[in-house]
Amino acid sequence: MKKHLYYLALFLLFIPMSVWGDTVPIEGRWGETGLRSFSPVPFTVEKENNVLYIYSNKAVSNVYIYIASTEGDVFYEGIYTFTAFEAIAFPLNGPPAGSYTIEISHSNGVLSGGFINP
C-alpha cells in the first residue's frame, strides 16, 4: 500500500510540470560554490502561451535573468531570488513576434537558451 501511495504522490508531483507549456532548452554549466565538480542545473524554463516561467528546484539568490530578442532588444533584466520549487512568471505580451534568448547567470554558472514568441 505504501508503495502505491509513493507512486501516486510522485505522479501528482509531476502533473503540473507536464501540463504547462513547452520546455525551453537551456544549456551551460552550473557548479556549486566550493565543489570541484559540476552539479545538476536547478532551473527549468517553460513557455505557456504568452508567459515564460522559470522554475527552481532549490533556493538560489542573486540570480541574474536576461531576456532579449536576437536583435538585442532587452525585454526583461533583473536580479531575482528563487525559493525551492518556485516559479517566476515573465509575461510576453509586450515583445513582438520573433526569436528570443534567455540567460540565467549566477556565481555558480551561466545558462542560456532560446525560444520563439509567436
- What CATH number corresponds to the domain at position 75? 2.60.40.3080
CA 76, CA 91: separation in Å to the nearest integer?
A: 10
For residue 11, tell me if it sits in a domain: no
Total residue count of the chain as it appears in this document: 118
For residue 34, tell me if it sits in a domain: yes
For residues 57, 61, 47, 109, the Cα torsion angle rounded to the nearest 10 degrees is: -90
pLDDT in tens, 58-116: 899 999 999 999 999 999 999 999 999 989 999 988 788 899 999 999 998 999 999 99
Tally the domains of the chain. Answer: 1
Residue numbers of the domain that contains 51: 23-117
- CA torsion sign, 20 to 32 to 80 to 13? positive
For residue 17, tell me if it sits in a domain: no
What pTM did the predictor assign? 0.75
Q: Are 53 and 66 in contact (CB under 8 A)?
A: no
